[in-house]
Structure 1
Amino acid sequence: MGDWLRLTYFNGSLWRRFLIDYLFGIVVNNICAVVVAFVILPGDPFFHCWVFSMCIGSLVMWMADGCRILIWQGGRPSLPGLLGIFVVTIPVGYFGGSYLAAKLLALPVEAVLNRQIEHASPLLIMILIVCVFFAWFNWSQSELSELRAKAETEKAHMAAVERQAMQAQLQLLQAQIEPHMLFNTLANLQGLIALDAPRAQYMLDKLIHYLRASLSSSRAETTTLAHEFELMHAYLELMSVRMGARLTYSLTLPPELERFAIPPMLLQPLVENAIKHGLESKIEGGRVEVVAKRDDKRLKISVADDGLGLETGNGVHYPNHGTGLGVANVRERLRALHGDAASLTLEPNTPQGAIATLTLPYEP
């Protein structure tokens, strides 16, 4: 009980409710003072009636709320418990409050108590009516609080289910990317072994480095931009082994954005898309530039290449550029994570190539 009292002492909602009850009781006590002064005891001074009403009503309310807090821990009492509260608090509050009022008004206590006994019937009936009304008010407030708590619990449960469903969806989408990239690399490695064994060994070393770098974050919900750029560096190094001098690249990440949280494996598919659809089919190869920057309340990450671009010289679009598994995966993950607050656009680069721009809400 002591531990519970220490906890509830800091329970804001419980004491706010106690304050609401007391303020409501003050209003009811004033109404009772008017009834006593003008109906039950019309000859008594109004101020005396008001003091008696405040003392009796406040004492009854404090005892009733105290029983509810100590016995039912702030919850709703049962019907027998409610009747028990009435049996105890009404007579004790009536005579105890009368004694307190007599002391405050400097009236003879014995004469006051005798007079209260003479007028006990109408006064106790009025107090009983007030207590029943107050109990109904308190009961309804408790029921509303319970319904509100149930609604909050259900809301939290639904939010947890939605988060789990979203995480499962993200892991499924992410799992589609990792085998895709790995199989492509192993296929290239298989062909390279017969032609250039030392280079194949170097490529295998880079693949192992990439897989080790991605292991710590590939199953996590979020990673940092710094780690994501490290993964892209490992991936581009791996691709440089395969393409040789045909591939150059640069990565630009401002220091203030290094700790920005981002879903893992969100940028690598865009780099892979730029190489696969922009540079691989270009005889002389080309360059990939990845730049992260803050634009007001948004974070923009661009992956630009100077490859074949989105369309040929005669205006014919490449059918697979920007529509492959990687780009579709990124768009699905953005939609699941941020809805309309994030986007992925694919535009022509100048003088040639393509730019994929990833826009995320910036929340430092």
Structure 2
Amino acid sequence: MIPGTHVEFPNAAARLSAPSANVLLAGFAREGAIVVVGNVLIAVALTAAGFHGFIDNLVFSQAIGLSIMLLLDIARFYLQRHNALTGPRLAIVMVLAIVLGSALGRGIASVLLGIGLRHAFATKELALTGWVALTATLLVTWYGWSRTRIAELSEQVARTAWQKEAAERTALSARLQALQAQIEPHFLFNTLATLDSLIASDPPRARDLLASLNRFLRATLEASRAQSETLAVQFKVLDAMLAVHAMRIGPRLAYTLDLPRDCADLPVPPMLLQPLVENALKHGIQGAVEGGRIDVRAQRVDEHVDLTVIDTGPGFGATPGTQGAGIGLVNVRERLAALYGEQASLMLIENVPHGLVARVRLPLRNVVDASAVAQESRS
């Protein structure tokens, strides 16, 4: 089964050796209808050409045509079941089916019309029957081959489309993994550097920082093992991360996390909010002597969910002309574009009287699909 497309591609041997009863009956009925219509046209043509009456021509053409079709289908089915259907064998089967089917059909028609078998098997009648049967059989065989070829080409197109889709999903997963790899080491390296300096100057605080770091790593590990990362899991990681920063920065950092119950179980791409919080710490809190606060919130709004990270730092005035161009924000924008297209957005808004609001808007109906793709990038 092809993922995402619901198209199944069984191997050719299975298709030939074990076709289902429904498929066989449907194919036989379709072919029988075509043969019956063709036989009517043959009867009309023979009547117009002056060969006997229409009823006689119709009975003979139907009996002969259906007999040939039946013999041909039986032989073809037998060869398919034994995986022995080849071009030369099919040609031999066609010749035998025409000869035997013509004889059988003429015999059945003679009985039905009360005509003597000697007249039915006269040389002139047999020659006419042979040519008509050969022409009709070739036309029907060409039609069947054309339908089979069209089906094979359609299957090939579907297979190519799936392979392209699979390649795009693999490329997307690799791209998201690369983007995440640019974010993950930053926080850990800074924390380890701070821990190294505190071991000598303030061992008790170093132990507290190490405990907070252990809680963060444990929360991150649990999130990585989860089948999908919900907002509840992501907020748990953010809480542990901000606790570590609070140990590093001290009372200059205050923070709150607001996650309503109706948003807790919503799946989101992994590490979606972490770079926004890190950006708020770097540009909004750490550079300010008086420090500040960070508020992280989630809220359902109509058919969307809004995720906001609010800081009380200097806002756009901190680094004019560069706001929104940092690697963290660029990565978030690229991931949103890769997962949601134009249905998701990241906006930076001035926080009055000072600070910055980073708002991510996600479409509720697509968060599950995007989370699944993001999950593949982590496996």
1:292 aligned counterpart, secondary structure: strand
| Matched residue, 2:9 | none
1:323 aligned counterpart, secondary structure: coil
Shift of 1:266: 1.8
Task: Kindly report which structure 2 residues correspond to 1:1-364, keeping only aligned pairs within 5 A, or say none.
Answer: 8-9=19-20, 19-39=29-49, 41-45=51-55, 48-72=56-80, 78-98=86-106, 106-108=112-114, 111=115, 113-118=117-122, 119-218=125-224, 223-311=229-317, 317-318=319-320, 320-363=322-365
Aligned residue type for 2:329:
V
Q: 1:55 to 1:345 in 2, by over 3 A?
A: farther
In the alignment, the residues of structure 1 paired with residue 167 and residue 105 of structure 2 have an alpha-carbon distance, to the nearest angstrom, of 54
Q: 1:57 to 1:244 in 2, by over 3 A?
A: farther
2:133 aligned counterpart, secondary structure: helix
Q: 1:299 to 1:348 in 2, by over 3 A?
A: same
Q: 1:275 to 1:37 in 2, by over 3 A?
A: same
Aligned residue type for 2:58:
W
Shift of 1:227: 1.7
Q: 1:182 to 1:69 in 2, by over 3 A?
A: farther
- Greater relative CO (CA pairs within 8 A, separation 6+): 2
**Any unmatched runs of 5+ in structure 1?**
none
Structure 1 residue ranges (4+ consecutive) displaced by more than 6 angstroms after TM superposition: 2-6, 73-76
Contact 1:304–1:353 (8 Å) recurs in 2: yes
In the alignment, the residues of structure 2 paired with residue 40 and residue 256 of structure 1 have an alpha-carbon distance, to the nearest angstrom, of 83
Shift of 1:99: 5.1
In the alignment, the residues of structure 2 paired with residue 120 and residue 322 of structure 1 have an alpha-carbon distance, to the nearest angstrom, of 88
Contact 1:290–1:302 (8 Å) recurs in 2: yes
Number of residue pairs aligned between Structure 1 and Structure 2: 352
**TM-score, normalised on structure 2?**
0.80
Identity of aligned residues (%): 38
| Matched residue, 2:5 | none
Contact 2:76–2:90 (8 Å) recurs in 1: no
Shift of 1:277: 1.0
**TM-score, normalised on structure 1?**
0.83
In the alignment, the residues of structure 2 paired with residue 149 and residue 76 of structure 1 have an alpha-carbon distance, to the nearest angstrom, of 23
1:357 aligned counterpart, secondary structure: strand
Aligned residue type for 1:57:
G
Q: 1:84 to 1:186 in 2, by over 3 A?
A: same
In the alignment, the residues of structure 2 paired with residue 324 and residue 354 of structure 1 have an alpha-carbon distance, to the nearest angstrom, of 14
Contact 1:277–1:321 (8 Å) recurs in 2: no
